[in-house]
Each structure stands twice: as structure tokens, then as C-alpha cells.
Amino acid sequence: MERYAELQAGFLWERARTELAGLPHGRGLNIAYEAVDRHCHEGRGAQVAIRWHPKRDDPIDLSFDDLARGSSRFANALAELGHVGGHGVATLAGRTPELYLAALGTLKSGGVFTPLFAAFGPDPVAMRLDLGRIAVLVTTANHYRRKVLSKRSELPFLRHVLLIDGGAGEFDDPTVLDLEPAMAAAADRFEIGPTDPEDRALLHFTSGTTGTPKGVIHVHEAVVAHAATGRIVLDFGPDDTFWCTADPGWVTGTSYGIVSPLVNGVRSIVDEAEFDAERWYRILQDERVDVFYTAPTALRMLQRAGADLAATFDLSSLRLVASVGEPLDPESLAWAQDVFDVPVLDTWWQTETGGIMIANYLTEPVRPGSMGRPLPGITAGLLKLDADGAVELDERGEPIEIEAAGDIGELALESGWPSMFRGYLDQEDRYQRSFAGRWYRTGDLARFDEDGYWWFVGRNDDLIKSAGHLIGPFEVESALTEHPAVVEAGVIGKPDPTIGAVIKAFVVLTGDYEPTDELRRKLIGHARKRLGPAVAPREIDFVTDLPHTRSGKIMRRLLKARELGLDEGDLSTLEAPIAGQSSGEETVGRSR
């Protein structure tokens, strides 16, 4: 692998583009062609592309040929129903092969693919189907009956529902069809139509802190970034087995759970089941996983399950572990490095960026707590903000960039990379507002150090103003998790008439500690020593779990709303408590 400096010097997006095949006869660029058909044309069709672990039964292999044929059948089935270009197709399903075939088949057919979390309830589903003007929904009979049926009349755009597990007869509705016979009747070859790199391909919903979710639009050109970042950061090689634990309902599970590994020809693990520490270690061991991409919250859940459990498995196949979604605190990083005995690389990106933008690299020293350095081809900047959080402009009206290491500003990226989002659906104003001059504003606060490593400070909205200090919850949480009693902490500012806000922490303890007043005092003492009295929490509550989004982010605004007895806002992305580890969904009944 090339070192960072060399990579940066030699990197051009135009050149990364030439590593892709492009559609035959100069018909453009299509994600699904790069992900599957290309491998078949180049003689790799028999290789395993996805090794699927159903919830209960033995794993099943899908080769690139299988994916090519299955996705073609899906595209033909769509065409048969009259969906030929620009149509929105959503999945509301667990991580089963049909989800992956639907994703790839939709892209082949010129449609726009939207994955929804299977655990969403009726309201969030209806809202997204409506906002996304979804024409075809791929789901199970059970989801349809429980979540969509009663709202069907409010969804005029929804023309067809395809049931993965059959049972359409129950609904006595010509627009509700069984997927399997529709696919079986369709041809397994499909010629992908001309695809402009700027054609829409993916629509991901990401919830704002309040109000309606934003629909983030990506185009086929994004595959250039999916491909390159997989090689540069995740170090994909042809013989690798890769496991991205994210559900496609979160952008990570699409960019790195579908597109990037397939385009790079690596074998991917897809696990239908939800988190289970023992199961995860077993998969890592038995599948000889080389590269593991997960979230800090999952690493902390593994940590909670104890090092003893980890020690009973042979994890020696691993070459690197990477994480995304939240800051990877130095304590969790050290734990993971110890247990997996490989470099653990934090990576930073967003739904809007489509792919990894800032990362640590296998070839470079890791700075614990830092998200690393910008990818080659990516220019990161730090914009100066005024007291109201607005970008400060110079006399020419250009945003002022922070030049000094250590100062805090808003993380911005110079626009123009291939996987940059091309819009918020129906919210052009909001899209325009997320740019300042040539910069895309991420809404995250950060700083950089003398060596160009970037450090996450917090979401702009989560920042706490207390006694004249600006405090990012992450630095307080990170100090708390350093204490051996603490697995996870969530920190908020509680409004206070005198000092603006009092820092309050919600703390999850490891199994070895009891929630006592004495421990509370000790933790406050520990935090004061680490952070100073102005930044240390004044109050600590012991809790058994913190509220997380389905992508594993601590929902600080919910902690705050509950603390203050305020409206809890949009909770559609709230993850069910980890304890039972079930999303409350039953397995899709299927015979095999």
C-alpha cells in the first residue's frame, strides 16, 4: 500500500474514474454494472460475492453470476410492470438476498433505490414512501399488512408492492404481487440502458434533529468514490473477506455494505440477524474475515460482553478493523486494538458525502481519538463561525477559514467529489444553504492539529455553552469512558439561569460496578481532574442503556428532551433497547 503522502500526490478523481469499466459501447456509468456485470464479463462470475448468513440456517453463497442474473430478473420484472427509468423503488425488509437483488436490479433499470430500515413503524414508512414518491415497494407480507396497508390510500405514487415471501393472495389487490414468480417469469439477462453519470441512483433518508427526514440524492457517479475509498481506506484486495455490519437502511450499509465491496470484487458477509456478541465473534472466526467495518457503539457492545468471550475465538484472520458513525473514543479504540490485535481505524463521513472523507490509514500511525486525515482528492477546511453559529465572511463575502491548529470551527469540504450529494429531495433551499462559497458545510465542529490530523468536537446542534465555555459533549463522554467503571456516556447541557447550561452525564456502567453515590463522586472527581471543573459534569445519572439511532449514534437531543420533559420530536430512527437485541421483527418465512 502506498503511504499517505504519495497517495495524495498522485491522486486524481479523473484517474480513479478510469479504474471503472463504464457501460459497454460508451453508454455511460452505472453502479450495478460496475458492481456485478463487469465481474462476469471479466471472468470472475463464479466467485462468491455475498455469503449470506440467515438468522437461523446455514450460510448461502451468492456468486457474481447469481447477483447478475437475479438483479437482471428484478429489472425485467420492473419493466414488465411498466417501470422503466427514474422510478423510485424502496425496500422494507431484513438483510435478505432479495434486498440486494432489488437494489442492484433497480439501478440496472434506471430507477432510484431507497432502503428503509425494516424496524420502522407505519408512520416513518409512510412518510418516506410519500416523500420519495416511491413507485415500487419490496417487502414482506407481514410488513405490508402491519405498516403499509392501512395507509395505502394516502400513497398515490405507490403503484406496486412486491412480496418477498409470497402471500399476495391475502390482499386481493392486483397491485400487490408475489416477487418470486414475477422474477421466475422474467429473463435473467438485462441490457442496462444508457446511464448518465449524473442520473439519480440512490435516495437515502436521514433524519434531521427535528421535523421531517431529509431525502439525500446520490447519482451513479458516486461509484467512483465508493470504489476508490474501499481500496484506499479499507485496503480491499481480491482475496479478501469483508464484513460491514451496517444495515442498508443506514448509508454505511449501502455504500460499504453493497457497492464498494462488490465493485472491488471482494467477498462480503451479510448477516440477517441483529447484534449478538457471540454470533459476531463466531462469524469473524469461521468466515476468516480480513476486514471488519462497524460502528463504535457495536465495539462498545462487544466490550460489554467481556474480553473473556472474545478470547475463546480465533480472530487471527483479521487485518484491519474500521469504524464510523460516531467518535471512536480512545478507550474503545484501545480495547478493540487489544482484542482484535490489528489497527483500528476511525473513519468520518455522512449520508451527504456518500463515502469516507476523513480517515486513518493502515500505512500511517493512528492517533487515538482523531478521525484521521482527508482522503486523497478531498480538501477539508475549517470555517470560522460567529456566536450564532453562522459562517463568518470576509470583505469579499468569502467564508473565513481557520488557519491555526487547535481552533474550533465548522468542518467543511471543498465541493466536487464524485459521491457528493446532488440535492435534498424537494428542498433546494436547504441544499443551497448547506454550501458557503466553494465549501460544503457538514454541520460538525472540529479542529485539526499541527500534523493535519482532524479531531471531532461535536454536532453543531449538540454543543453546550456553559459559563462562557463552548463544550463538545464528546470530550466529556470520552473522559468518562476512560474510567474503568464506564462503558458509555451521553452528555447534555441542562439550561441554567446563572451559567447558561450545567453539564449532565448519563452513564452506563460495566457489569463489575454498582451505581452508588460514592462511584458518582469518584466519576465527577475523575472528570474534573481530566477536564477541569468548568467542563466536568456536575450531575451524573446511572442508566442501563442510552438511546441510540439505528446507526448507533447517541441521541443526545432525546436525553435532553426527557430530562427537561420536552417534546421528544421525531423518534423514527430510535433503536429499540439493545438488551433484547431483537428489532422486534419476525423472520421471513421461507422454504429452502
β-bridge mates for residue 401, sequence order: 383
Give the nearer residue to ligand 6R9 in terms of CB position, either 247 or 444. Answer: 444
Pick the closer one to ligand 6R9 by CB: 71 or 245.
Answer: 245
- 3 state SS of 538: coil
Exactly one of 33, 275, 349, 455 binds ligand 6R9 (CB under 6 A); that residue is 349
**Binds ligand 6R9 (CB under 6 A): choice among 459, 483, 550, 560:** 459
Could you give the 3-state DSSP secondary structure of residue 525? helix
* Minimal distance, residue 63 CB to ligand 6R9, in Å: 29
Q: Should residue 63 be labelled a site residue for ligand 6R9 when binding is judged by CB under 6 A?
A: no
Q: What is the C-alpha separation between 183 and 507, in angstroms, rounded?
A: 50
Instruction: Tell me how far apart the alpha carbons of residues 487 and 573 are, in angstroms, rounded to a whole number.
Output: 23
User: Helices 330-340 and 296-305, interaxial angle, to 10°?
Assistant: 60
Told to check if 424 binds ligand 6R9 by CB under 6 A, we report: no
Q: In the set 235, 444, 477, 570, which binds ligand 6R9 (CB under 6 A)?
A: 444
* Total number of residues that touch ligand 6R9 (CB under 6 A): 20
Measuring CA to CA, which residue among 498, 513, 501 is closest to residue 463? 501
Taking CB under 6 A as the rule, does residue 360 contact ligand 6R9? no
- Separation of first and last alpha carbons in the chain: 42
346 binds ligand 6R9 (CB under 6 A): yes
Integer angstrom CA distances of residue 271 from 53, 284, 550: 5, 11, 16
Q: Return the ∠ at Cα 254 (arms to 452 and 39), rounded to 5°.
A: 100
Options 111-119, 247-255, 428-436, 583-591: segment touching ligand 6R9 (CB under 6 A): 247-255
Binding range to ligand 6R9, per CB under 6 A, among 84-92, 99-107, 111-119, 345-353 = 345-353
Q: Do residues 176 and 161 lie in contact, with contact meaning Cβ atoms separated by under 8 Å?
A: yes
Task: Provide the sign of the torsion angle of the four alpha carbons 403, 405, 410, 413, taken in this order.
Answer: positive
Stretch that binds ligand 6R9, among 29-37, 157-165, 193-201, 246-254 (CB under 6 A): 246-254
Which phi and psi angles does 62 have, rounded to 5°? -120, 120
Site string for ligand 6R9, 210-239 (x = CB under 6 A): ------------------------------
307 neighbors 339 (Cβ within 8 angstroms): yes
Considering only residues 361 through 400, tell me which ones interact with ligand 6R9, judged by CB under 6 A.
371
Closest separation between CB of residue 206 and ligand 6R9, Å? Answer: 5
Q: Smaller CB distance to ligand 6R9: residue 78 or 246? A: 246
Nearest distance in Å: CB 47, ligand 6R9 = 28
Phi, psi of 27 (to 5 degrees): -85, 15
Cβ closer to ligand 6R9: 268 or 351?
351
Measured CA to CA, the distance from residue 537 to residue 203 in angstroms comes to 40
Q: Which stretch binds ligand 6R9 (CB under 6 A): 245-253, 269-277, 497-505, 574-582?
A: 245-253
- What are the φ/ψ torsions at residue 337 (nearest 5 degrees)? -60, -40
326 contacts ligand 6R9 (rule: CB under 6 A): yes
Binding residues for ligand 6R9, rule: CB under 6 A, are 206, 250-252, 324-327, 346-351, 371, 442, 444, 456, 459, 551
